[in-house]
Amino acid sequence: MTFTPEYLRSLGIDPTGLHFHNDTMPYDPSLVTAAKQMRVDGTRGEAFLWKILKNKQTGYKFTRQKPILHYIVDFYCHELKLVVEVDGESHNDSEKYQYDRRRDAELKALGLCVVRLLDGFVKSQPVPAAQSIFQRAGIPMPPSLDYMSTGQERLWPSGLVKKSRVM
């Protein structure tokens, strides 16, 4: 699908400042630098989940901290039209909750499936968290996730998150 400013307006989305290119998701180019920094400063939960999702270990290509519209999503898979968000404590705030609902509605209007996971769940049980992404999205479970669910402790060496900010 090719996105245009007119199409976004018809969905109730403000296209001001967005970059449009072929069939990729429109994005705000001013967010690119912030997204790069967020990849370095990610939470421990995001780092654990990224270890599972990166390099097509699930059979799908995910990107991390991807600008879409006027937002930066934690994980995105173009092939599945899937957005994954890892929510920490700050998302319990009423104002943030309303912001998240508005954001999810705009992403869903583009035809994306949005899956939200709690940061604590991802940190304590990264493989079940990854499995739940596919279950909630109604996508068949990648065989690699069944394989990973045994011997999980070998997947998470203590030095895994050197660059990540621990939250």
Q: Tell me the two tokens of residue 97.
A: 């909750």
Residue 94 lies in a domain: yes
Is the predicted pLDDT of residue 16 greater than 50, yes or no? yes
pLDDT computed for residue 72 by the predictor: 96
pLDDT computed for residue 62 by the predictor: 94
Residue 160 lies in a domain: no
Residue 143 lies in a domain: yes
Residue 167 lies in a domain: no
pLDDT computed for residue 158 by the predictor: 44
- Which of 14 and 140 is assigned the larger pLDDT? 14
Residue 148 structural domain = 5-155
Residue 67 lies in a domain: yes
Alpha helices in the chain, H assignment, sequence order:
5-10, 32-40, 44-53, 94-109, 119-124, 126-137, 143-148
Are the C-beta atoms of residues 14 and 137 closer than 8 Å to each other?
Answer: no
Say how many domains are in the chain: 1
- Give the pLDDT confidence of 24-33 residue by residue, as tens digits: 899 999 999 9
pLDDT computed for residue 162 by the predictor: 35
Residue 117 lies in a domain: yes
151 pLDDT tier (thresholds 50, 70, 90) = low
For residues 142-155, average pLDDT: 63
CATH of the domain at 63: 3.40.960.10
| Pairing label, strands 71-77, 82-87 | antiparallel
pLDDT computed for residue 28 by the predictor: 95
Kindly give, in sequence order, each residue whose CB lies less than 8 Å from that of residue 16, ignoring residues fewer than 6 positions away.
Answer: none
- Give the pLDDT confidence of 88-140 residue by residue, as tens digits: 766 567 788 899 999 999 999 999 999 999 999 999 988 899 999 989 888 88
Residue 98 lies in a domain: yes
Is the predicted pLDDT of residue 165 greater than 70, yes or no? no
Whole-prediction pTM value? 0.83
- Give the pLDDT confidence of 41-65 residue by residue, as tens digits: 888 889 989 988 987 778 899 999 9
Residue 165 lies in a domain: no
